[in-house]
Amino acid sequence: MTTENKSSSDYRSDYRTRFAPSPTGPLHFGSLVAALGSHLRAHAQGGLWLIRIEDIDPPRQVKGAIEHQLKTLASFGLRSPLPVIYQSDRIRDHCKAIATLVEQGLAYPCGCSSKEIPKESPYPGTCRHGLPPGRVGRSIRLKTHDEVVLFDDALQGAQRQIPSQQTGDFIIRRGDGLIAYQLAVVVDDHAQSITEVVRGADLMDSVGRQCLIYDALKLPRPQYLHLPVVVDANGRKLSKSDGADPIEALNPNQAFRLALRALGHEPPSHAMSIEAQWQWALKNWALERIPRGPVSI
Ligand code: GLU
């Protein structure tokens, strides 16, 4: 359909983005919007759209979800032209990055349990200058200073975040030994040469933390584009782990049309099939049409 039969040398630019689902359940409509939006953006930029499975949180993983997600994406013509990357295969690199940050004094072991840390306020820095007596290191945190992270989101415009005020020193390896999303996403986006991160706006507030990790590892920051989040009738974000209706509950042609509509694009009614809607969308894709705020279906 759109990416099949192309080799990576057939792309006219170095642009690369990815869709990176966590296998916490079947894809829901919001995931389809993010996958389709990032794919159309990559096409408009003459670049590559890749898939990465973020399977580094086994307790949250649902059996069969990976195969199911990939099958659902493929049924909408969303296939990666390069092999799908599994984050669980990349843990050695994640650990290497964490070790480097600790060696350089940019990150430190923390012995606090989540219960001890006041919710909704930045980490108070209890273990920042060494573990208090009697404490054992559980997690690893990256030090924040008063860095102001500025970035220009391709859709949401100029943004300003101050991670030290949002979260304070934040976790890059969890107390249960698992790698934190913030760390893994940076290491893997860099390894996959992602030039622009395109995803739902619910993740926009993690850009500041991710930029601090890029800086600490001396890696170039990517560009960002945050797509509108899809919300339910009560204004709540659809979520795989909360069991939002899987996409298969909808007629596929209709689901595709609704996903394009959520992205501000309305193919003519005679473009019924997914294939016909793809053709229209590839030709008519325009960033200006995409709404910035949450969209409901
Ligand atoms: N794995 C995340 C999710 O399923 C997305 C991470 C990202 O795109 O940075 O919500």
Q: Render pLDDT for 153-211 as a digit per residue (tens, 0 to 9).
A: 999 999 999 999 999 999 999 999 999 999 999 999 999 999 999 999 999 999 999 99
**Dist CA 23 CA 66 (whole Å):** 5
**Which of 223, 163, 290 has the alpha carbon at shortest distance from 16?**
223
Sign of the dihedral defined by the CA atoms of residues 260, 265, 269, 275, in that order: negative
CA 23 / ligand 1 centre spacing (Å): 10
Mutation choice for ligand 1 from 27, 31, 54, 223, CB with most ligand atoms inside 8 A: 54
The pLDDT assigned to 1 comes to: 44
CA 131 / ligand 1 centre spacing (Å): 32
**Which of 88, 186, 86, 183 has the alpha carbon at shortest distance from 139?**
183
Segment 260-290, tens digit of pLDDT: 999 999 999 999 999 999 999 999 999 999 9
Task: Give the chain's count of helices (H) and strands (E).
Answer: 8, 12
The pLDDT assigned to 98 comes to: 98
Query: Is pLDDT of 258 > 50?
Result: yes
**Dist CA 163 CA 143 (whole Å):** 10
Predicted TM-score (pTM) of the model is 0.94
Query: Is pLDDT of 3 > 60?
Result: no
35 C-beta closer than 6 A to ligand 1: no
- DSSP assignment, residue 134? T
Query: Is pLDDT of 243 > 90?
Result: no
Q: 71 pLDDT band (50/70/90 cuts)?
A: very high
Q: What are the beta bridge partners of residue 110?
A: 139
Question: Which structural domains are found in the chain, ordered by start?
Answer: 3-83+228-296 (3.40.50.620), 93-183 (3.90.800.10)
How far apart, in Å, are the Cα atoms of 118 and each of 52, 183, 267?
A: 34, 23, 49
Mutation choice for ligand 1 from 16, 18, 19, 22, CB with most ligand atoms inside 8 A: 22
Residue with tokens 């049409």: 289
SS (H, E, C) 200-259: EHHHHHHHHHHHHHHHHCCCCCCEEEEECCEECCCCCECCCCCCCCEHHHCCHHHHHHHH
Cα angle 205, 40, 6 (rounded to 5 degrees) comes to 125
55 C-beta closer than 6 A to ligand 1: no
225 C-beta closer than 6 A to ligand 1: no
Mutation choice for ligand 1 from 50, 60, 153, 181, CB with most ligand atoms inside 8 A: 181
CA 136 / ligand 1 centre spacing (Å): 31
The pLDDT assigned to 74 comes to: 97
Q: How many CA atoms lie within 13 A of 105 on its CB side?
A: 3
Query: Is pLDDT of 221 > 80?
Result: yes
User: What is the token pair recorded at 81?
Assistant: 């032209």
Mean pLDDT score, 46-63: 97
Tell me if 163 sits within 8 A of 212, measured CB to CB.
Answer: yes
Query: Is pLDDT of 4 > 70?
Result: no
**Dist CA 5 CA 81 (whole Å):** 8
Point out the ligand 1 atom lying closest to the alpha carbon of residue 206: 9
Q: 44 pLDDT band (50/70/90 cuts)?
A: very high
Could you count the other beta carbons within 10 Å of the beta carbon of residue 260?
Answer: 25
21 C-beta closer than 6 A to ligand 1: yes
Question: Phi/psi zone of residue 46: left (φ > 0), alpha (ψ -120 to 50 degrees), beta?
Answer: left
Residue with tokens 């390896």: 173
Amino acid at 202: D
